[in-house]
Structure 1
Amino acid sequence: MVGVRWGWWGGEMRIPPFRTALAVSGVLVAGLVLGGCGTESAGSAAGGGGETTGPCAGGAADDHGASGGTNGAGEERDGVRVVGTVERDGAGVNASPSGRASQRPGVSVTADSLPGAGGAAGPCVVQYDVTNPGAEPFTYTITFSLMDEQGRAMSNVEETVASVGAGKTVRRTLEHGGYPGGGVLDAGRVRILDVERVPSDEAPAPASSCPASGLRLTADQGDAAMGLRVVGLHLENCGSRTYSLEGYPVLQLLDAEHQPVDGIEILRGTDGIPMAGGDEGPPRPVTLRPGESAVSGLAWRNTTEFGEAVTVPYVRVRAEAGADPVTVAPHLDLGTTGELGVRPWRKDETEAGRGTGDSGSGRPGAQGPYGMPSSS
């Protein structure tokens, strides 16, 4: 994150072994065997609403984190719904402490398949659905908050679900190693903090890939200080040829439904944004060899006086006029200022010698192109 110095440039339970002298009715044995493995009804397949049973059937939570339902389902926001807790693939076939697993076709009972036992990751995972009501594929970035038994936030997990088709619902699992102190991940203690959705053909390319254009454009986490907001834009030449540009990124401000936001003046430069600092002169040519990067950024004041405050969740960015658009989600809380400043592209000298695997987010300890610490 950027400081006041404007460096944005840059969580054992064991079953005692059965004794041969212990008489157990066939009904009880069958009940134990069948109950030891998590199962799903047919309706719980992707897009369905079936009920989960077995050791991973966690309770749904109320607003205070208290359990009370059957499978932890209920949390929902912007097309994302927590479905429930189910057994992790393969968890029911792990070896028991005695080195043997009680099995019959399609069913397995082991100590490791019980809640809280097994490997560090635990035997259970939380399922969630993502529904795209739009007319084109969207890519979703979802931030989950994992709560403890008292409803306190323990950690956040961010997941990206790429290319959810128009009108489609997909199901995913939230993999997590549990809570500190050996607690078990329960769907009733998962909250959806934020959902971002952008057209799939405009989603920022992940660190492991390079767009056909050879340019990977991303936005960092930004920072805030005394009403000033700053977000860095990073342009990496991940291709095989040299790329040259000069000037400012081309911006289009979008609302939550990805419609244009009017009435905001986009300033070339940040001289007009109080406390944002100057731009060190007019734009100049930037040449990026493969592996090199350029940096720009957005600056604004979150001042609210008379009038209606404006929030812009998304910005469609082009490196220059005619370039392929990339939609980022900087969540511009512009207040009533009606202004957004954008800096010109500058060569990011801090990227010299770096690989192309960085995500383009904050870079702890790096030095920005203006000699200031970059965002972290």
Structure 2
Amino acid sequence: MRQFSVPRRQPAASCLAATAALLLVGCGTVTAAGSGGGAEASGTPGACATPTPTPTATTPGVAQPTGLAQGGVRITVSGPGCAEYEVTNPNGEPYDYTVLFSLRSAQGEVLDNLSRTVTALAPGATEKGRIDLGGPSRTPEPGPPPTLTLPGTRTSTAKPEIAKVRGVPTAEAPNSGGPCPTSGVRLYADEGDAAMGLRVVGLHLRNCGTTPVTLDGYPQVQPLDLDHRPLGGVSVLRGGAGIATGTGADDPPRKFALLPGEGARTTLVWRNTTEAGLGEPLNAPYVRVRATPDAAPVMVTPELDLGTTGRLGAGAWTREDADTRSPSSAPRP
């Protein structure tokens, strides 16, 4: 699924999809979109005023409220117009995390969504960040990465909540830019499309190395649950015709070589139909993808909501020119 006071390497371009996304402090880049209007970074402010007790996973007998603590992320301080939070990696290897915060009014209305990603967080490490919810904007000052300030008064009294946390091993993180991975290829998922219960997400592969890459047929696709375990009860189909036609997953498999700089794509297609008597709906936030049987795995986050269908179609690899990608090919984790 990016700001903190201590920056790490530049984040991958892929992030959680959010209706209105705002990058917070830490990676040196601030973007804004959505109903909140434009935003500018402010100078580094003082601490928030009012502590908010947030139980940890080790607090005996106390359940973690998902709005304040979820998946290694905690909102530690909430004061008038600002909040502070921390991300901790409990895993035994570096992880990339993407966090979606929702800002709610006193009536519970979602006013804005804020997306923050931390890359290569070391095992056991914690990084902290801050959200300013209102007040005047100022020109960024030299020094440490700035904190994002949301201008205006509409969000100055908003209460931040943790809406979603997604984490993938850094070694398997999708990559759509920056230095070429040691594998010599980039692989990432786009934002996809959804209509009338039909879901379509593209997987894009780019040869950024120095030698040709041979593709032959279909990628290996493994749906994973929230804990990165293989999700049972899912049939992965070759091609998308068994689910819907005209999705881009219908081309016959063929063998071809990608020269350095060339790209390919495949398409995941599924339905989120839920029917009574067919068991519980299946959800797979993550999918582990291997472009070829011997390729290094990449973990993307297409948020599969398979309903009770239990079926996921994966199309064959087809050529994709870098200059003719559709607008929906914006990256995501």
Q: What is the aligned partner in structure 2 of residue 201 from structure 1?
A: 171
The question of 1:190 aligning with 2:160 is answered yes
State which of 62, 74, 77 in structure 2 corresponds to 1:81.
Answer: 74
Contact 1:312 1:331 (8 Å CA) reproduced: yes
Does the C-alpha gap of structure 1 residues 184 and 287 become closer, same or farther in structure 2, counting only changes over 3 Å? same
Query: What residue number does 2:232 align with?
Result: 262
Distance 1:147 1:292, change over 3 A: farther
Q: Is the 8 A contact 1:298 1:341 kept in 2?
A: yes
The whole-number CA distance in structure 2 between the counterparts of 1:289 and 1:258 is 33
1:235 aligns with 2:205: yes
Q: Mark the CA change 1:151 to 1:303 in structure 2 (over 3 Å): closer, same or farther.
A: closer
Q: In the alignment, is the contact (CA less than 8 A) between 1:138 and 1:165 conserved in 2?
A: yes
The structure with more helix, counted as a fraction of residues: 1
The answer to whether the 8 A contact 1:242-1:290 is kept is: yes
State which of 274, 299, 318 in structure 1 corresponds to 2:269: 299
Q: Which amino acid aligns with 1:299?
A: V
* Structure 1 residue runs without a partner (length 5+): 1-36, 40-51, 62-73, 87-114, 116-123, 353-365
CA deviations over 1:246-279 (Å, ceiling 9, x no partner): 2111111211111111221111111111355574
Q: Tell me the matched-pair count.
A: 258
Structure (1 or 2) with the greater strand fraction:
2
The answer on whether the counterparts of 1:178 and 1:185 sit within 8 Å (CA) in structure 2 is no
Is the CA contact (8 Å cut-off) linking 2:192 and 2:328 kept in structure 1? no
Task: Give the aligned partner of residue 315 of structure 1.
Answer: 287
Alignment of 1:29-48 (within 5 A): none
SS in 1 for 2:289: strand
Report the counterpart of residue 144 of structure 1 in structure 2.
101
- Identical counterparts, % of pairs: 46
Letter in 1 for 2:127: V
Give the stretch that moved more between structures: 249-258 or 239-248: 239-248
Question: Does 1:57 find its partner at 2:49?
Answer: yes
Q: Which residue of 2 aligns with 1:154?
A: 111
Structure having the higher Rg: 1
Flag the 1:214–1:185 CA change in 2: closer, same or farther, 3 A: farther
Given that residues 251 and 315 in structure 2 are in contact (C-alpha distance below 8 angstroms), is that contact kept between their aligned partners in structure 1?
no
The one-letter code sitting in structure 2 at the alignment partner of 1:261 is L
Task: Provide closer, same or farther for how the CA distance between residues 320 and 154 of structure 1 changes in structure 2, counting only shifts above 3 A.
Answer: same
CA distance in 1, matches of 2:93, 2:250: 42
- TM-score normalised to structure 2 length: 0.68
Assess, with a 3 A threshold, how the Cα gap between structure 1 residues 145 and 176 changes in structure 2: closer, same or farther.
farther
Partners of 2:119 and 2:248 in 1: CA distance: 38
Task: Tell me what 2:214 maps to.
Answer: 244
Report the secondary structure of 2:252's partner residue: coil
Unaligned runs of 5+ in 2: 1-43, 54-66, 132-145
Which residue of the partner structure matches residue 328 of structure 1?
A: 300
